[in-house]
Amino acid sequence: MTPPPARVGQPATEIDTPALVIELNAYERNLDRMARGVAAYPGVRLRAHAKTHKCAVIARHQIARGAVGVCCQKVGEAEALVDGGVDDVLVSNEVVGRAKIERLVALAKRAAVGVCADDAGNLRGLNSAAGAVGVQLPVLVEVDVGAGRCGVAPGPAAVALARAIAESPNLRFAGVQAYQGKAQHLYDADQRRAAVDEVNRQTAAVVQLLREAGLPCAVVTGAGTGTWQFEAGGGVFTEVQAGSYVFMDADYGRVDGFPREFEQSLFVVTTVMSRPTPGRAVLDAGLKSLAVDSGPPLVHGRPGVDVVAVNDEHTILSVADPASGPRLGEQIWLVPGHCDPTVNLFDWYACVRNERVEALWPIVARGAVQ
């Protein structure tokens, strides 16, 4: 782990850069907004997605505000969060391969840990590993409701898999996961709603089939920051898995409708390391500190100063008005293009309130891709 970029109590202007910064007032408002928002839907709980933040402190804040637990995509993330005191983690993903499955069931002895599955052979591996350590592992059937990622079709295949779980002595059928990832970032609210109408229809149908087969779903989980109100209001889902809402990013900033209620709270703070011409400034952060898969970062609070290119270790800015343009050594705050993979590039959050460093939180699941 790299050393923290600042000390508690320092002014934000003294944070060593590039650094990942949380503006705590905006962050806390985001947590409170989501907690209040979800509470308005009876029978629905937040299961916050921790792949966004990878931080046990933040997971505990979400649970303290009413989240039933968190999600992770990787066993390693789940291990880091359980080590950090989080006691309810759903691996909202398939876990395949002996080494990972053995770690998963070991973790399930220490905390409430569940997993998704979309294959009967995988269930046999989960069942024998769970039996070997003496746990009953909760397993959800993942159904593909339009994302085109993992999951069985939401019809008879889902019922067959649920039955196979229920008949496995060391597994417990826990319900269904139906996550439509592609719908989250459709910028147009009507398009997102139409996509989730289809999610709700298909998910309701498969839950009904399962009930008729004597396999009631205790949990129906899915949704993200872009669509959560549509799933929460659809009458089928019991959990929403929003993750990015804690931080937001440049791409979510382009999504219209209710996600706009969340504020940008995550920044990559950089320093102007070169001013080679009046119209050009160069920052000390590049691809090793910024994920650009959803587009480049945005310059925060500096109209007329724009990102032109992001190289390995540099970001090039154009400066429209050199007279008011950034000076050498000045800090520039960037809004990351995509929050989750940007977070994974840092070991620490420097948490700032009223321009002062208030806390340093370790990103304990940083790099936990196994």
Interface residues toward ligand PLP, by CB under 6 A: 49, 51-52, 71, 73, 92, 179, 181, 184, 224-226, 241-244
Closest distance between ligand PLP and the C-beta of residue 71, in Å? 6
Residue nearest ligand PLP, Cβ-based: 224
220 sits in the region (left: phi over 0; alpha: psi -120 to 50; else beta) called: beta
For ligand PLP, the closer of residues 343 and 357 by Cβ is 343
List of residues 6+ apart from 140 with CB closer than 8 A: 90, 114, 115, 116, 117, 174, 175, 176, 177, 219, 221
DSSP 5: S
Nearer to ligand PLP, 173 or 252 (CB): 252
DSSP codes joined into one string, 125-174: HHHHHHHHHT--EEEEEEB-SSS-SS-B-TTHHHHHHHHHHHTSTTEEEE
End-to-end CA distance of the chain: 18
Q: How far is the CB of 242 from ligand PLP (least distance, A)?
A: 4
Angle at 292 between CA 290 and CA 297, to 5 degrees: 70
SS3 of residue 181 by DSSP = helix
State which residue, 186 or 299, has the beta carbon closest to ligand PLP.
Answer: 186
CB of 96 to ligand PLP, least distance (A): 16
Beta bridge partners of 221: 177, 239
| Cβ nearer to ligand PLP, comparing 70 with 137 | 70
What is the nearest approach in angstroms of ligand PLP to the Cβ of residue 134?
A: 29
CA triplet 356, 358, 359: central angle to 5 degrees? 140
DSSP-assigned letter for residue 257: S
User: Least distance to ligand PLP from the beta carbon of 266, Å?
Assistant: 12
Question: Would you say 221 or 315 has its CB closer to ligand PLP?
Answer: 221
Cβ-based nearer residue to ligand PLP, 33 or 163: 33
